[in-house]
Every structure is written in structure tokens, then in C-alpha cells.
Amino acid sequence: MSLISLSPNASGTGVFTVASPNSNVDRVLTLPDETGTVDTLQRSGNVIQVVNATTATIVTNSTNTLANTGLTATITPTSASNKILVMVFQNGCSKTNNNYLEIQLYRDAGIIHKIGGAAAYTDSAAQNRIGTVGGTFLDSPATTSATTYKTMFMTPANGSGVTVQDNSATSSMILMEVTP
């Protein structure tokens, strides 16, 4: 077994040791030519990248057909085995008449999670502003291609209005690529 020991050049007394692998295969460790720390461990739960998106555009839907909320974000995973932690904060949610708001999370063209199933329901015709409908979902897209996440919404009571980003409230989505 080969060892390389480096003595500290600061006030510390520890020694940094690099040991050869326990195999007959040669390994090459190339250090980046930049300032900063090097973390080569692929621990479970490492955050690889973060994408954030926001919108404050008011959107109203008066049908039981899903409509885009305007909240969308795209991430390109670095490994097909990594997961994407999706955090959604759909703000400015409100309803009119005797209905409620349903919000769903989509990956590309398919639903992957229902965030709000009966948001703002009051069993009355009064307008109800509830503020935020939020949720988290750990997704396994199994790809290294650009992947788009978005929220869509509707009201099951066709003809009654539901709104997101009411009063120009800012909704946000955070995507975090993490190692499994």
C-alpha cells in the first residue's frame, strides 16, 4: 500500500494522508484548477444543483379543465439515478362561489403529485382567500435530459372562478437535484 502524507502549512497539526485503493486498478485523482474545497465523496443526500422559479402573474380559471398557473421550472439532472426534490409554494389562492381549488404538479406532460385537493373550500358562496397551497415531492425522473416541472389548477365546480397569484402574490418553485 502506497501512502502520500502532506504536512500542514497552517497552524494546524493534522496530517493529510492519501492512500492507494485496495485493488490492482490504477486510479487518477485530478484536482480542479480553482480556489475552493474539493468534495469527492458521493454521499447520499448531496445537493448537486438548485433551480428556483417565481411568478406573480394573476391567473383565473372558471372551468374543470386544468390550466397552467404560470409556475414552471426546468432542471437537467447530472445523473439518471439522482432524484429531484420539488418544493412548491403556490401563493394567492382564492375561490368564488361554492367551489374549491385543485392544484396538481406535473413533470413534463404527466401528473406526478396532487398538491391541493380541496383548497379554499368553505361550503358557501363567499369569496375565500387562503394564501398559500404548498407541498414537497421527491421525484425520480430517471433521465439526464432537461426536465420541466409545472403546476396546473382547476375548479371541479365548472363555471365558478378560482385564482392563483391573486393580488400579484409571488408563487415559487424550488428544484433540488440530490444523490440517492
First and final C-alpha spacing in the chain: 31
Q: Quick one: pLDDT at residue 80?
A: 97
The reported pTM is 0.75
Residue 132 phi, psi dihedral angles, 5° rounding:
-110, 135
Measured between alpha carbons, how far is 58 from 164 in angstroms, rounded to an integer? 6
Residue-wise pLDDT for 69-96, tens only, equals 999 999 999 999 999 999 999 999 988 8
Measured between alpha carbons, how far is 86 from 137 in angstroms, rounded to an integer? 5
Residue-wise pLDDT for 32-45, tens only, equals 666 655 555 556 78
What residues have CB less than 8 Å from 149, skipping those under 6 apart?
72, 73, 74, 75, 84, 86, 105, 106, 107, 139, 173, 175
Q: Quick one: pLDDT at residue 63?
A: 93
Residue-wise pLDDT for 146-157, tens only, equals 999 999 999 987
Question: What is 47-178's CATH number?
Answer: 2.60.120.760
Q: Quick one: pLDDT at residue 100?
A: 80
Q: Is 168 helix (H, G, I), strand (E, B) or coil?
A: helix
Q: Quick one: pLDDT at residue 75?
A: 98
Spell out the per-residue pLDDT of the chain, length 180, in tens: 566 655 556 666 666 666 667 777 777 766 666 665 555 555 678 999 999 999 999 999 999 999 999 999 999 999 999 999 999 999 999 888 878 888 999 999 999 999 877 766 676 666 777 888 899 999 999 999 999 999 999 998 777 789 999 999 999 999 999 998
Domain ranges of the chain: 47-178
